[in-house]
Structure formats: C-alpha cells, structure tokens
Amino acid sequence: MNDADFIKAFETGKFPPEQFHHKAHIKLAWIYLNLFDEETAISKTCEAIKNFDKLHGDGTKYHMTLTVAAVKVVHHFRQKSNAITFDEFVCEYPRLVTSFKELLFQHYGENVLADQKAKTAYLEPDLLPFT
C-alpha cells in the first residue's frame, strides 16, 4: 500500500485493525511528517489514532503522550535520514521498530508513561527533553 492509500485507509477507518501494530504507528507518523511540519504531524497523528481507537476499539487505548512522543522520535531520526521510503527509513533506523520502548525510556521514566494523565494530555519527558 502506498503512503496516500495508507493515510486514506487509516483516516476513513478502512485500515484493518489487526494490522495496526507498532510499525504501522511509526509509518503513520513518518507519512504525516513527510506532508506537514512537526506540530501539524503531531496533531494529525493524534487525531487519526484517537479516531481509529473509537472506530475499532472502545476508545480507551489511545495514549496521547506515547503518540506525541512517537512523532517526536520519528521526527528526530527523519531529520538525519536519507531515506526516500518508509522501508528504507526503518532499515536505516531499525531501533524505531525493534527497540522503541528503550528509546522512549531514555526520555521518560516508566512512572510518567504509566500516569493516567499521560493518556489524555501530553506530558513532557522527565529524563531527557526532545530536541
């Protein structure tokens, strides 16, 4: 599925829920960052995932801090990348798929991400700010 089809399927709720795993989450952020500035990409990613959770779940799985942090992490690596496609990007930075929690835990203590407020509001990193 090309990037335009991926976004269209995701935004219309036609993306198969069983295929929305971590790598798809990273791809969504990557595509939005290719189309928009970081702030808009964050907003679009949050809106899309929140809507997806309402359409295909019970609306309780969306986690704002994780979503915003994921876009910020993808943005960080994207600025260094020479990749043209998402597959090239994850080959260049496989840790985004294989070790994402470890990347996040460089910025956040587990207690911050586990805080109920982090699900509905963006909490800034307590260990290392995003730059």
pLDDT in tens, 22-77: 999 999 999 999 999 999 999 999 999 999 999 998 878 899 999 999 999 999 99
Instruction: Tell me the two tokens of residue 21.
Output: 């795993």
Taking residue 68's Cβ as centre, other Cβ atoms within 10 Å add up to 21
- pTM, rounded to two decimals: 0.94
Residue 26 lies in a domain: yes
Per-residue confidence band for 1, with pLDDT thresholds at 50, 70 and 90 = confident
Residue 18 lies in a domain: yes
Q: Which residue has the tokens 């993808």?
A: 74
Can you give the C-alpha Rg of the chain in angstroms? 14
CA angle, 15 then 21 then 26, to 5°: 90
Residue 89 lies in a domain: yes
**For the chain, what is the domain count?**
1
Residue 128 lies in a domain: no
What is the torsional sign of CA 49, 55, 57, 58?
positive
